[in-house]
Structure 1
């Protein structure tokens, strides 16, 4: 069976997967393949203080290292999806894995000195490029080999296992950092070997589309996203009144507007924007955008908060972040079941509401400086994200009827990774500004002259991924004495700054809840083994279940 774009239809894909055993093997292969992508979203956050200290990076510099990976993912994800459609999913999985693992080895081999930050940013970006080639192809394989009425559970397993690997990242990062932070990059090499072996043995369809690649569209979207996030990221250094800040932000938005206009007019676009005419798809995408503003950044900010304000070791910080993933893992399976039985809207509403409440309550306890008092709220926030992530992603992909799954996963994952990069940039700016203001007030109250206090506060905020003790001047002068007396207050100042960040995450989830109200409540089903169709929600309990699978 061939669809209107020249690709393999869903039924044929599922048949080609070799039955339920073949589907499970394909799922296992793809989960292991994307393990590196998910682990790298958290493992580097744990190592951030050690990287900052050894290489002499500033806080904004370290955030650029983290964001280079996220931004490359966002900029090239749609391109990765289209390349997978044109050249085949298996080929892109293998090619992306090689790019990713070579970049990882180079990241771990960064030299000390002035070149360090540029080196890390460059090869973190190429890591992101490799991930952008791997992930849409892997996700499209899972979507293609499972029928629609099993897809919710399959993708829930995919995201739970991937989430478990993401949660493993902090633990692994804490253990490896105790040896050397460079190992957090080198660990991707053995994972890549296993992933390639599983991919070689897995049987799954590898259909290709005879279409040209939209190179101008790829350049426009990468340029627009890059400029926009660069402006948001540099606002803390350049200032919000800087012409350069607004030139990047507005210039990026202008290029993205040109990209949308171009895509609507070209015959074979990188992204078929007509899919946004589906109100449910638009609602799903908006929910994913606002939820991901918090989901990925929370790993970085929670880890650094634990190491600075709670004086935690990297391993202890990893356990702190695991509170969030414990809730995520428990709720993700339930979210998939709700999707299969009732559709995406109930799961998304429940998830956004729980996550909003969880982040808000978590924020209120950050200044207690006690991890023991925070774990219920961290779990609640994670559970909310777990409930909504798989349903929103799966419902959006299910609406790729008559289109390619690689293309639609490219759209949704581009939105998610762009949101993650924006969240890192915006929340990082908030953290730097609030930390600077509060630390300056603390130092002034302890007897430091106002001019000196502001300069010291700025230095601490820029090096906030290290411990405040590292910035105490030597000697017995009034400034050094004031700094030593202010250390505990500075830890509290940093916790207070993080409260603003976590309240911002709660607001993002509140907006995501409002976006769920746009969802019409329609579902995608496969009655009698035919092609997917949309039906109204809720589905009667006595509705006949499909007995034959194509």
Structure 2
């Protein structure tokens, strides 16, 4: 699980090195789609396939699917590292291999929590699933540091790192893992799989493409293709729900969502996944585009240092995750998942209180608080989902939980980038135009650059490029200006100072929405109930305790 999630984030931080390696400028017109799909390919495929692969685990064996996932993941990691092409062809190779890697990752996501639920009794599952969740979410942040370090050496090393772990994991899995789960013969639900896969893909892709400008709009939410994709996704997913209620062997038993703990814990998990993904992207832009350059770091080195400066987030999670899992075994999920959600919401508010050019100790303390909150939430939330379903449905339940996790990560790209773009669009054009003309750039060129969609500035910061050089360089204005003005424009302070005000305006919208999502997650966690174990009354508990364990609080 650690390997799978490291790979979902290791590419994010390594994108500048990867694009340099294949000789492609992702900021040129027509190349943004390559950038989006290298990020999205893994996430979308993982989100779409985990339910299907979890259901196949219920039918044919979870260990078989898990071990096959290790092998598939490793094979595509090798293929990623030997990309023989450059330019657009090189980008397509990476996208397709990332999609293949996502298939293997989906097999791991879909079955790992079900295998652990089979292997551990209910009074120990919180700790087991807590460690698994720590691996999953810590991997998404550790990947930032590992990717930053490896990409400094060679871009292909970003993909090599998975190969030895994958080979050893595959061999170990086939030799050691034993099938413990309850299996029931069933037919594969083809209509359900098709409508679910196409519907979720259409929805996730359309929402993500909403961040790209359309005509004279800063975002693409008025683009007919985006709107059509969202409508098609909703229609197909609605058809999926109808189909699942009528087929003999449904891909997902819709009755699972009648279980209060299962439905509400998944809603809380979705809100948390969107918020956590948005936090990761916004913090990377904040550090790489503003704070690190102001503190003397070159734009090229910012991806590595952004990963390092985000470590308090991972440390907080590593400390709180296993502890909350162990405690939730004894006291139930409610207090820990609710309290953790509220701590994360508080951290979003605190990030708005500190200045854009913050003192690092304050920033690190808030990150630590956010990590602790995420750790307190994640393991109890997962335990609540997995304990609430019958044994023969654990593969499907694990798949649904994986879909929620990965869909939230994918949705966070479209949701939070769109919110930030909306915030910037009201302030950035005038600020950028005035700043450029103040350094001698002609008013015509400055106005054109100022009125460019803010997504260009965001992606430049996100990729560790020099934003002003990326925006002004192609116009030829830098060659015309006096050297002192050109140096100031492309230096480490001009863009960060220029961007600080508009960026904070955008952060108010972004982190305000994220805090609201975490409050919703807290409410859902509270109403999900305490300690619920499906059809597994604990004989050693008192009558009152057994009643609580069965959800009769």
Q: TM-score, normalised by structure 2?
A: 0.84
Closer, same or farther in 2 for the Cα pair 1:56/1:343, shift >3 Å?
A: same
CA distance in 2, matches of 1:510, 1:223: 31
Report the counterpart of residue 347 of structure 1 in structure 2: 336
Q: Is the 8 A contact 1:80 1:134 kept in 2?
A: no
1:493 Cα deviation after fit = 5.5
CA deviation string 1:139-172 (max 9, x = no partner): 2111101001111111112223444444432222
* Residue in structure 2 matching 1:292, options 258, 273, 296: 273
1:523 Cα deviation after fit = 2.5
Q: Is the 8 A contact 2:469 2:490 kept in 1?
A: no
Report the counterpart of residue 497 of structure 2 in structure 1: 489
Q: How many residues align?
A: 504
Closer, same or farther in 2 for the Cα pair 1:481/1:341, shift >3 Å?
A: same
For residues 327-476 of structure 1, the aligned pairs below 5 Å read: 327-365=316-354, 367-435=356-424, 438-446=427-435, 447=437, 448-449=443-444, 450-455=447-452, 459-464=456-461, 465=463, 466-471=465-470, 472-473=472-473, 474-476=478-480
CA distance in 1, matches of 2:36, 2:545: 43
Report the counterpart of residue 73 of structure 1 in structure 2: 46
CA distance in 2, matches of 1:345, 1:461: 38
CA distance in 2, matches of 1:422, 1:379: 24
Unmatched segments (≥5 aa) in structure 1: 1-33, 540-550
Report the counterpart of residue 36 of structure 1 in structure 2: 3
CA distance in 1, matches of 2:157, 2:272: 31
For residues 220-299 of structure 1, the aligned pairs below 5 Å read: 220-237=195-212, 238=214, 239-299=220-280
Unmatched segments (≥5 aa) in structure 2: 215-219, 438-442
Q: Is the 8 A contact 1:70 1:417 kept in 2?
A: yes
* Residue in structure 1 matching 2:25, options 41, 56, 71: 56
Closer, same or farther in 2 for the Cα pair 1:527/1:460, shift >3 Å?
A: closer
CA distance in 2, matches of 1:177, 1:61: 19
1:368 Cα deviation after fit = 2.0
CA distance in 1, matches of 2:177, 2:141: 28
- RMSD of aligned alpha carbons: 2.8
For residues 120-159 of structure 1, the aligned pairs below 5 Å read: 120-159=94-133
CA distance in 2, matches of 1:394, 1:414: 16
Closer, same or farther in 2 for the Cα pair 1:186/1:431, shift >3 Å?
A: farther
Instruction: Tell me whether 192-201 or 377-386 shows the greater mean CA deviation.
Output: 192-201
Q: Is the 8 A contact 2:210 2:221 kept in 1?
A: yes
Instruction: Tell me whether 247-256 or 51-60 shows the greater mean CA deviation.
Output: 51-60
CA distance in 2, matches of 1:51, 1:436: 30
Q: Is the 8 A contact 2:119 2:180 kept in 1?
A: no
CA distance in 2, matches of 1:441, 1:157: 49
Closer, same or farther in 2 for the Cα pair 1:338/1:57, shift >3 Å?
A: same
1:122 Cα deviation after fit = 2.3
Closer, same or farther in 2 for the Cα pair 1:456/1:287, shift >3 Å?
A: closer
CA distance in 1, matches of 2:511, 2:79: 33
